[in-house]
Each structure stands twice: as structure tokens, then as C-alpha cells.
Structure 1
């Protein structure tokens, strides 16, 4: 098939390019920067310059590629240092790509008669923070997000709603880790842990669902040819509380165990959103993705992933 990957030099997109080329698909991929096209072409795909926030640029690139499938991997997360207290500020560009960028891609997809649309979404923490510890795709995105995350939640809700209206597929990746990620060798979160700047807040009862970056890519490649329209959680088999995974991550990177601090002490430092992640977040189930996308994670648990898969 002819597959168009918007954001083909990003963490997931670059891996999806290689997987789809290896599977025999004809792939075109985009970057905002012309000097990155060589990376796309070295992987066996056609490189195109495209600004995801410019409707004309998007239309020109898609019509030139004539795809049967569009994969929306546009984000602006490379090198983003986590600022939990001012969360939406760091995600402002990504939020715009999930709203305006999605609109531009869907408009030209309709014009060009593209048969399948796949968009990246996220489920590392946006689940409703009440009820059971692990949610599936029928459970709602948090209707009462923290003040610092309202814009990001709205953008996630938007990309999923717009994709659903177009009978597309939204893939909710869990908290990504692995080479080149914030949770990876030399990554921003790992550096914070090494410096002792990421404490364990309260009881660490917030639940996190992780996904190795390679598993996020393999699920995206699988969705090109598998799965009905809808939302899918792309996570590993092992949702776990912060009280388990944060000390394990510190051990895996050779750092001291994180110190424990009460929520009232942490709140001025990491804000309500940071405290919520540590104490109230809910995890996600991957049963639907495994059943309907013909996909299973190569890294079924972050436990082994932290030991061997950080890069």
C-alpha cells in the first residue's frame, strides 16, 4: 500500500517508516526540515518537506504522495524537559498539531479519497482518576483534569474525536520509554532521577501504563492493515504504581532510591498535576489492541524494559 507518514523523523514515525518499508509498502514521510529528508530516504522511503500547521503545505505534500493510508505522528516533543507544574506550556505546539494539524490532514484525506487514517494519541495518564485502577477504551478520558493539563487533555480528546468522525484509528500509546526518550539513557527524566530531583510523592499510588518505543511503532505498523475504526490502548501488560516503577527505574540507571515526600511538600514544586500523576493516575488495558490489531508487545513489562531496553 501507499502510506504517508506525517512526522517521519520523530521517535515513533522514524521507526514506522523502517517497519513499513521492510513489509513492502510504498512509504512517503515528512519532516519540517529539509535537512532531515536524507534520514527518511536512507530508510527506503520518499522524503517530503511539510509544515503540519500550514494547510497548504499539508495539502501539497499529501496530494503529491497520493497515499491510501495516512499516519499522523506529528508532535513537538523532542528534547522536552518535563515541567509538571506548567505542563500545558511544554505541550503547546504538540496540542496545536493534535488540533489544527489533525484538521489539515483530515481535510486533504477526504479530498484525496484516502481510505485509512491513523492518529497517535496518548494514555499514559489521561484516564479518569476514579474507579478501577486499570481502564479500557470504553472508559472516559478524565472529565476533570488538573488545571495544568486542561489544554493537553482537550487536544487529546480533539484528535480522538476528529479521527473517530472520519472512521479512523486512534492509537493511545502509554508512557513511552527506550532509546531517545525522556525515560531512556541520557533522557530528561532519567537525568532528573540521577540528580535526585524526582521524589516519590505520598504513597506513590498513581498507576502508570508504559510502552517501549519499539512496541509503539510496531502497533502503528500493524494498524495500517489491521483493526476496525476506533481507539486502541497501546501499552504493555504490566500497569504498575509509581511506588514500584520509580525505585526500579532509579536502580536500573544506577541512581539512589528516590526520597519520599508528602504531597503537601511536593505540591509547590511539581504542582497539582505532578502530585496527581504520582498519587491518582489510572492505568490502561491492552486487551483490545492485542485482540484486534494482531499485535503483542515485544516488551511485555517495563520491569525487563528498564533493565535492558533503555538504550
Structure 2
């Protein structure tokens, strides 16, 4: 098929594009930077420099590509880990999930795309109903004020994509990424890993927030399955071992050769990092990926975070 990947040089795009090419698909990938266009050509894709927040730029890029499938992986989550940068990246990503999604859907509809696959995430599942949620769960209706914009952007993306009638609209709620090209890897420039090595990523409160993680290669293989045979709706994409932060963070520190993470009371972190950050560290729920396995025929390479941390960080 002819596949248009918006955000093709991000963590998942860099793993997704070569997989699609290897399976015989004709891939057009977008980037915001002309300097990164060569990377896409090396991966086997045609490259397009595009501004996702400019509807004319978006419409022109999609019209020229004439794809059958559009994959929406647009985020702005790369850069330094300081608080100011994190807030700026979060705001830019929220804008891409609202305006960027709207522009991409309009462009896809204009050229007759038959499947539209978009990146969501599972960090803000509703905080009631047990430690693990399936796809019937909804986004948290009452997030902290400093997390409300992010939750609203995710809700907009999911509702907009799964609500289309002119194509299969698929939202993939990914767990937290780890592995090459992500913030949690063995690379020296991996932002979160460096914070863990410097003991600047603590266990907040009791560390009871349950996170589901997924190796970037498994996330990419699930996306390939959704591109090729996904039906409208939401699919959860994560490994089989959702775990509280107080369990998986020390495991990751050990795999990175770092000292155990510090423990910091929630009241101390809240005025520095915000209520939303404390909420995700103490109240988050994990997700079940049984639907994706059954309906997409998806198989995990790293079903356990322990084996993934041991063998999948390089």
C-alpha cells in the first residue's frame, strides 16, 4: 500500500518506517526539519518537509502522496528534560493532537484514504476501576488542572479519529516507550535514562501509580498490524506486565547500572513538578492489550519489562 507517516522521524516513526518498507509498502514520511529528510531516505521512505500546523502545507503533502493509509505519529516530545522545556514540549504536543489531527484528517478525507491510524497514550486512564483498564475504559474525567489540557487533547484525538465514517479510524493507546531512540534506553543522550542515572527521577510517595510500558519495537510491530488490518476503534498497546512505579523503576535503574532511585514525599514534589506529575506517579492505571493481540494478531517480542530491560535497551 501507499502509506503516509506523519511524524516519521520520531521514536516510533524511526522504528515503524523500515518495517513498513520491508513488508513491501511504499512509504512517504514527514519531518519538520530538512536536516532529517536524509534519515528517512536511508530508511527507505520518500521524505517530505511539512508544517503539521499549517493546513495548506498538510493538504499539499498528503495530496501529492496520494496514500491509501495515513499514520499520525506527530508529537513534540524530544529535547532537554528541564521543567521549562517539558512544559513547552507538552503544549506543542497538545496542539498537534488537536489542530494537527484536524488538519491531517481533512487532508486524508480529501484524497480518499481508507484507514487512519493515530498515536494516543494510556497514561491518563480514568483513576477508578482497578489497577488495569481495557479499551472500554475512558480518559480521566477530572484530571488535575495542570493536566487538563493534555487529557482534553488526547480525548479530542481519540474521538475525532474513531468517529470518522469515511475510513477505518484507529487510535492506539500506547504504554510508555522504552528501547533505542526513546528516553529510556542505554544511549548516552537518552533523557529519562540520564535522569535515572543521576537519581533525579525519584519514586514519588509510595510509587503506587501503575504504568504499562512497551518496547519501541513492539509498539512499531503493533502499528504495522493496525496499518495492514486494523478496524475502527481503540487498541491498547503495551506489554503483559503493568507494574507500579516502585517496582519497575528500580528494575530499570539496575539495568542501566544506576543506583536505586530516591524516594520523595508527594507533598515535596507537588509544588515543584505539579499536581499532574504527582498524579501519574501515584494514581495511574495500567492497560490490558488482549484486544490488540486477538484482533490484530499481534505478538510481543518483549512481553515482560524485566526481559525488555535486560535485553532491549541497547
Structure 1 and Structure 2 fold alike (TM over 0.5):
yes
Q: Paired residue for 2:130?
A: 132
For structure 1, list consecutive stretches of 5 or more residues without a partner in the other structure.
Answer: none
C-alpha distance in 1, partners of 2:286/2:264? 23
Q: Paired residue for 1:222?
A: 225
Provide the TM-score with structure 2 as the length reference. 0.94
Kept in 1, the 8 Å contact 2:179–2:215? The answer is yes
Alignment of 1:74-223 (within 5 A): 74-81=74-81, 83=83, 88-123=87-122, 125-166=123-164, 167-185=168-186, 186=188, 187-223=190-226
Shift of 1:96: 0.9
Correspondent of 1:231 among 212, 234, 249: 234
Question: Per the alignment, in what secondary structure is the counterpart of residue 120 of structure 1?
Answer: strand
Equivalent residue pairs, number:
309
Shift of 1:98: 0.8
C-alpha distance in 2, partners of 1:270/1:50? 33
Q: Paired residue for 2:306?
A: 303
C-alpha distance in 2, partners of 1:102/1:128? 23
Shift of 1:35: 2.5
Kept in 1, the 8 Å contact 2:76–2:89? The answer is no
Alignment of 1:4-43 (within 5 A): 4-43=4-43
C-alpha distance in 2, partners of 1:265/1:60? 49
Kept in 2, the 8 Å contact 1:32–1:51? The answer is yes
Kept in 2, the 8 Å contact 1:203–1:279? The answer is yes
For structure 2, list consecutive stretches of 5 or more residues without a partner in the other structure.
Answer: none
Q: CA RMSD in A?
A: 1.6
Shift of 1:250: 1.3
Kept in 2, the 8 Å contact 1:80–1:90? The answer is no
